[in-house]
Amino acid sequence: MKKFSLFIITVGAVLISMSACKKDWLNPDPEDQLTESDSIYNDNTNATKFVNACYTNLLTWQQTSFAWVGVSSITSDDADKGSSPGDNGSDKDQMDAITYTPTSGSVSDAWKGNYQGVSNCNQALENIPLFKTLDDATATQLKAEARFLRAFYYFNLVRLFGNVPLVDEVVKAGDAASEAKANTQVSADKIYAFIEEDLNYAIGILPTVDNQSAKDIGRANKGAATALLAKVSLYEKKYQQAYDLTNQIITGAVGSYALVSDYSKIWREVGENSSESLFEIQGKSGSPKAGVQQYSVIQAIRGGTFGGVTTAYTGWGFNTPSEDLDNSYEAGDLRRKATIIHIGDTLFDGVILKSAVNDRYNYKAYVSQTQETYSGDADLTNKNVRILRMGEIYLINAEAANELGNTSTAITDVNKIRTRAGLGSTTAASQSDLRTAIWNERRWELAMEHDRFFDLIRQGRAGTVLRALGKNFVDGKNEIFPIPQGEISASGGTLKQNPGY
């Protein structure tokens, strides 16, 4: 933990220009040397650069790539390890079997990536007030963006690890009280309360998507903060709050959003930042490069042979959609073919997959080398990672409405999702049957989007579902991940291990 605590940000490392539709605000300059000069506060544009570091962390290997795919997807019934039998990707076999330990690399990286994000946000919040000539409106908006992102990182941490340290300020090296706080776990309830506080602040400050300038598309806005708070509320079982917040989004009170008509296009370049989207991690290939580090290549087709257009994006083949997911869809569900690449499929860019190491691949991570602005760098592509979108908003609204006894609204919400998927209306009518139907729709609508494992946990059925598929899920233990042993050791034993590990 102290390794995180002593992180010091350098402005040169996060220098990012703010030119609009090319997403240049994601492009960090080469890392500079640490300077202790206060001259950085004479240039107000440096305030934005502190906040840009909060976004740039989303692009990193530890935050959104191999470890995240492992802990959030391969652990679930939606995905298998993939790749070849002899390639375990360090510990992805452990993620698949749910046999990970406090020394598993994916667990450690997930901790470090999210706490690095928290650190960047705390640095921004401490430094923004030091720009004495920065206008109040800009300063307040930048702080709201930083607090939205800090809430996002803490939402990941509390879902992953349960009781974690609440670090709400820059940790001061050599300050005993500050270091003790950074190594003292608090209850998950306190973390959730802190997340809500940050998000309510952000909601009160941030502009709607309709009032964002073109150069700021992709940055946090009121709709994104409202959506994240709605999702947090669902995890807390605050159903009225989740219902009210999602209603604000659906009715346009916090910005203009809508379901797009073609589900399959959501994850393509043409679907970036559409009316469906409330928040996406912005990836950019080209020069300078600012893609999500290897997010697509780790999941791309492995050992493929191709027909049709034979210029195809290939990679490591991890995180493959499971047979259980494949077989779970209703007949005629358009989401199945939009989610899973099968042997024999013709992809949207004309590539025909004739053979490959694995039977299935994640279509939502696919990048076209011919129909999208692929730069030739497989590690840093233009792929945006969707975090919050309208399909989920309708399902949060449905679940909250159903738990509040408003089955008619829940049925209306579910049918909107099913209609887009090419299906008829739900036959569920009772609250219990509708609850199951909503959970199924969440699986199909959000498959391979890093929610399924956490959904099973919060629904209280992870053990039953995962053990039936041969995974070693232990009730009372695997609802959360172990605290990384390296962090416990670095804290001098102050951090305490989660039960069962």
- What is the domain count for the chain? 3
- The length of the chain is 501
Q: Please give the pLDDT value at position 37.
A: 55
Domain match, 370 and 426 both: no
Domain C-terminal end among 383, 410, 439: 383
pLDDT value, residue 289 = 80
Residue 430 and residue 313 in one domain: no
CA torsion sign for 476, 235, 111, 127 is: negative
Give the side-chain half-sphere CA count within 13 A for 436: 6
Instruction: Check residue 17 and give its pLDDT.
Output: 31
What CATH number is attached to the domain comprising 426?
1.25.40.900
Q: Let me know if residue 214 belongs to a domain.
A: no
Judge if 450 and 312 occupy the same domain. Answer: no
**Does 181 reside within a domain?**
yes
| CA-based nearest residue to 406, from 239, 261, 277, 195 | 239
Q: Are residues 373 and 397 in the same domain?
A: no
Tokens in use for 223? 């709709």
Question: In terms of domains, do 305 and 363 share one?
Answer: yes
Helices assigned H by DSSP within 162-296: 176-182, 188-205, 222-235, 239-250
In this structure, are 47 and 112 located in the same domain? yes
pLDDT of amino acid 108: 98
Are 351 and 438 within one domain?
Answer: no
37, part of any domain: yes
Classify residue 258: in a domain, yes or no.
Answer: no
For residue 291, the 8-state DSSP code is -
Over 165-194, what HEC string results? ECCCCCCCCCCHHHHHHHCCEECHHHHHHH
Domain check: are 421 and 322 in the same one? Answer: no
Q: Is 17 exposed, middle or buried (0-12, 13-18, 19+ CB in 10 A)?
A: middle
User: 478: which residues sit within 8 A by CB, 6+ positions away?
Assistant: 98, 462, 463, 500
Residue 250: how many other CB atoms lie within 10 Å: 18
91-94: list long-range contacts, CB under 8 Å, 24+ apart.
92/66, 92/318, 92/319
Q: Which domain holds residue 99?
A: 2-205+480-490
Sign of CA dihedral 271, 272, 278, 280: positive
For the record, the structure tokens of 322 come out as 């499971």
CA distance 171 to 145: 20
Secondary element (H or E) of residue 161:
helix 136-161
Token output for 485: 């042993």
Q: What's the farthest any 2 CA atoms get from each other in the chain? A: 66
Query: What is the Cα–Cα distance from 230 to 397, expressed in whole angstroms?
Result: 9
3 state SS of 243? helix
**With contact defined as beta carbons under 8 Å apart, do 320 and 87 qualify?**
no
Q: How far apart are CA 161 and CA 95, in angstroms?
A: 15
> According to the model, what pLDDT value does residue 288 have?
80
What CATH number has the domain bearing residue 44? 1.25.40.390
Residue 302: inside a domain, yes or no?
yes
CB contact at 8 A, 128 and 32:
no
Distance CA 95, CA 88 (A): 10
- End-of-domain residue from the set 319, 352, 383: 383
Same domain for 407 and 343: no
The residues, ordered by sequence, that sit 6+ positions from 282 with a Cβ below 8 Å of its Cβ are 23, 26, 55, 218, 290, 384
Using alpha carbons, list the distances in angstroms from residue 270 to 275, 348, 488.
12, 12, 45
Domain-embedded: residue 242 = no
How does pLDDT run along the chain (501 residues), one tens digit per residue?
Answer: 333 322 333 333 333 333 333 344 344 443 334 444 578 999 999 999 999 999 999 999 999 999 999 999 999 999 999 999 999 999 999 999 999 999 999 999 999 999 999 999 999 999 999 999 999 999 999 999 999 999 999 999 999 999 999 999 999 989 999 999 999 999 999 999 999 999 999 999 999 999 999 999 999 999 999 999 999 999 999 999 999 999 999 999 999 999 999 999 999 999 999 999 999 999 987 778 899 999 999 999 999 999 999 999 999 999 999 999 999 999 999 999 999 999 999 999 999 999 999 999 999 999 999 999 998 999 999 999 999 999 999 999 999 999 999 999 999 999 999 999 999 999 999 999 999 999 999 999 999 999 999 999 999 999 999 999 999 999 999 999 999 999 999 999 999 999 999
In a domain, 291, yes or no: no
Do 166 and 18 belong together in one domain? yes
For 354, other C-beta atoms within 10 Å of its C-beta total 14
Query: Are residue 304 and residue 347 in the same domain, yes or no?
Result: yes
Q: Which helix (H) or strand (E) holds 397?
A: helix 390-403
Is residue 332 domain-shared with residue 459, that is, in the same domain?
Answer: no
Structural domain contains residue 348:
yes
Give the domain-ending residue among 348, 383, 418.
383
